[in-house]
Structures are given as structure tokens and as C-alpha cells.
Amino acid sequence: MKIKGIDKFREKLPALHGKRIILVPIYTITCVILIFFILFWFLHLSTEVNVQFAGINWNWIFPILGVVIIEVVGLVLVYQMWYWRDRLKQKYQQTSYQRIFFVGFAGILCMICLGIFNIIPLLFIQPYLSSVPSVAVFVQQISQFWFTATHIFDLIRVIIGITVCAIGFGTMFRSMFTFGFDYMTVVYLYFPEESAIQNNKIYSVLRHPTYAALIYVSFAGILIQFSLYSIIFFVLYLIGFEIHIHKVEDKELIQRFGESFENYRKQVPAILVPPRHWKTFLKFLVGKK
């Protein structure tokens, strides 16, 4: 099955014509492996390096530091697509997008991987994390500290978490198949004159469905993991998206569309669908127009 918008995407990467397009999936796999290697290396570091300060063991901070580093790098790389746009278009015109694509795409992959990272069962993959008391407090389930009989509670939260995770991934893939790979990779940030008006009803209840999808996946990690780390990782993730949405993307849209977008932004939330619009959201999720 051919993905919508892939032809337009390839058109804007003339240097990767023909079989050279294979460099994109190779680059994607390489970036994903590197991102997860860094995240898990910082997890491993928390059990290998003993950091004491003011009588407190600070090993627990390494996993958080890994997440912060990947998030900052991701946001900075994505921002480059906005920051260099006018200069690249002026100098390279039709090849401007391909000059910055791999930089911005690496940033996008950083944010996707961070969302997925929060649903990975860390203790299952790296059980030795519980060997360091200061780290174990952050990685173990919070419910263990509240009460002893946690089976029913844990079962309910995991079921809800898996459901939210499925909604997140479903929204992500539905966005890609509805709007196209060219929209997902912000081709029209560089070529707005070639974009088509999107009349899908999802935009009447949600301004950024793809970003919302990733945030839902990360939030599902709180319900599935139910650890202090999962909460901290989600809060950091949410802050990162809030910064990008309000300081970068919405700012650019206000400059492009002016007061009309300002009014739209006041009426439609960025990432959280109001309960009264859940029906519209679910129709989008299952592919109904």
C-alpha cells in the first residue's frame, strides 16, 4: 500500500532520486538505535557511578538527564527547520527543503523515541536498576508504597494505559494516512503555496493531532509504569511540546494567517480533546469522515 504524500516528499528530495531513497530508512534506523542507546546508557550509568553530594545519593538523576539531553537536542534540531527556512529558500529555492530535512527529521525521531521510551518496562529490561536504592524508588511502581494488595488496581491502570497507548498510536497512523507523509515531514513549511486546504473535522476539535498522539503515548507510560520516572519523563515531554507549539509552530502560523489563526487557537485546544468532541475524535480515529 502506497503512503499518501510520499511522491511529493520524494519530489522535494531530488538528491535522493531512485534507489537513493533507501538512505532515508537507513538514516531513520541509525538515529533510532543511537537515541535509545543514549537513553539506556544513562539508565545503566545510574547503577555504575556513585554520585554523593551533601550526604545524598544522586544516581537517580542520570535517567532524567538522558531524557533531557535527547529532548533538548530533538527540539533544537526541529527548530532548525523553522530558523533556517527563509535563508535556505532564498539561496537554494526548490532544493531548500532537502538541505535541512535530515537535521529536522533527526529531531522528530528524538521526540517520537522519547514518547515510546516512557512505555518501555525499564525494570523488565534492566532489572539491576532496583539494586541502587535511590534509583529503585524512582523506577518501582508507586502503588507498592501505598498498599499491599495492588493486583486489581494494577490490572485496571494497565488496561487503561494500553488503551490510551493504542489511541495514541492510532491517532499517529491515522494522521499520516489522512494528511500524508509530506505533511508529517513538514514539506509545506518550505512550500506553503503547494499545500492543499485541510478540511478534516479533526481540526475543529484538535489543532495538532500528531503531537497529541505522541503525548497520549507518553502519558500511557504513567499508567503502564506508574513510577516516579514515568511521571517525570511525561512532564518533561509535555513541557517540550508546549514550548515548541507556542514558541515556534503557533508563532509561525500567527505570522502567516494573523488574527484568523489567533481566534482559531483560542477556540480549539492543541492536544486535549474536550469530552463534548470525543465523538468527532473517535470518528477520525476509525477513519470515518
pLDDT 10s digits, 109-121:
999 999 999 999 8
pLDDT at 224: 93
Statement: residue 100 has pLDDT above 60: yes
Statement: residue 197 has pLDDT above 70: no
CA distance between the termini of the chain: 21
Q: Is the pTM above the cut of 0.85?
A: yes
Q: Are 73 and 107 in contact (CB under 8 A)?
A: yes
Stretch among 30-39, 139-148, 168-177, 248-257 having the lowest mean pLDDT: 139-148
Question: For residue 81, which of 111, 108, 113 has the smallest C-alpha distance?
Answer: 108
- Residue 5 phi, psi (nearest 5): 85, -5
pLDDT at 54: 67
pLDDT at 23: 94
Helix (H) or strand (E) holding 137: helix 133-139
Angle between helices 151-179 and 209-225 (to 10 degrees): 160
**What pLDDT band is residue 149 in, cutting at 50, 70 and 90?**
low
- Which of 142 and 227 is assigned the larger pLDDT? 227
List of long-range contacts for 92-100, beta carbons under 8 Å, 24+ apart? 94/12, 94/14, 95/14, 95/15, 96/190, 97/12, 97/13, 97/187, 97/190, 97/191, 98/12, 98/13, 98/14, 98/15, 98/16
Q: What is the mean pLDDT of the chain?
A: 89
Statement: residue 52 has pLDDT above 90: no
**What pLDDT band is residue 40 in, cutting at 50, 70 and 90?**
very high
Residue reference for cell 489543532: 207
Distance CA 126, CA 165 (A): 22
Q: To 5 degrees, how large is the angle CA 170–CA 285–CA 245? A: 75
Q: Are 39 and 45 in contact (CB under 8 A)?
A: no
Statement: residue 55 has pLDDT above 80: no
As a whole-number percent, the residues of the chain with pLDDT over 70 amount to 96
Statement: residue 104 has pLDDT above 80: yes
C-alpha cell at 154: 494494577
**What pLDDT band is residue 31 in, cutting at 50, 70 and 90?**
very high
Amino acid at 109: L
Mean pLDDT over 171-196 rounds to: 88
Instruction: Classify residue 207 by its DSSP letter.
Output: S
**What pLDDT band is residue 151 in, cutting at 50, 70 and 90?**
confident
Statement: residue 241 has pLDDT above 80: yes
Rg (CA), the chain: 21
Mean pLDDT over 158-180 rounds to: 93
Question: For residue 24, which of 138, 110, 101, 124 has the smallest C-alpha distance?
Answer: 101
Whole-number Cα distances in Å, 259 to 143, 223, 265: 48, 39, 10
**What pLDDT band is residue 61 in, cutting at 50, 70 and 90?**
very high
